[in-house]
Amino acid sequence: MLSLEALARWESAVLASIRGATGTVEERDAQITRSGMYAEYPAIFKAYAELAGWPDEPARSLEALKRALFLAWYSFTQVPVESGIAELPETEVRELVGALNSALKYDEIDDELRLMLAWYRGVFGYMFDHFGGVRGLDELIAGMTPDDARTELKLLRSPADFVDRGQLGDYWRQIVAG
């Protein structure tokens, strides 16, 4: 099983390849398809989801859950030529949503994940509804707007806190810095 650090390096390599594609959206899509890079993110997602299921290592599990949830959400919000995520296996995303349900039920989330969830739900919450809903999510983030979540996350974390955290880190570093 890969470590969180190894998965972050893998993501960095994939993103570097994707960002190296040039031309129109169609040309970049064809280059990424030919390179096989679209096949990488389902494997990365699966590895994060597996790590999220290790209750004997709660800090590692929580971080893996954050990264897998981000990838699932981001796959709904960005075109594949930007994110590198063409498609994630629906069964595994449903299982991940189940893991989030469990984490909420047993109060196993931290403030960072709470704020991330508020942002995801407020910016584009379709993923949570599409996969059967997340019990307790709306209560957890009641009344919190994406701007509220960003403001609180800026107080909680600096951009440096998101280094070496894969595409989640790249995304949140920009949100916290901006």
Cα distance between residue 111 and residue 153, in whole Å: 8
Nearest alpha carbon to residue 73 among 118, 20, 28, 29: 118
Supply the pLDDT for residue 135.
Answer: 87
Is the CB of residue 158 less than 8 Å from the CB of residue 176? yes
Q: Classify 124 as helix, strand or coil.
A: helix
Supply the pLDDT for residue 139.
Answer: 93
Supply the pLDDT for residue 131.
Answer: 83
Tokens matching residue 105: 């039920």
Residues of the chain where predicted confidence (pLDDT) is lower than 50: none
Is the CB of residue 86 less than 8 Å from the CB of residue 41? yes
Cα distance between residue 82 and residue 136, in whole Å: 32
- Residue with tokens 């981000």, as numbered in its chain: 70
Tens of pLDDT, residues 133-146: 788 999 999 999 99
Cα distance between residue 82 and residue 68, in whole Å: 17
Supply the pLDDT for residue 54.
Answer: 82
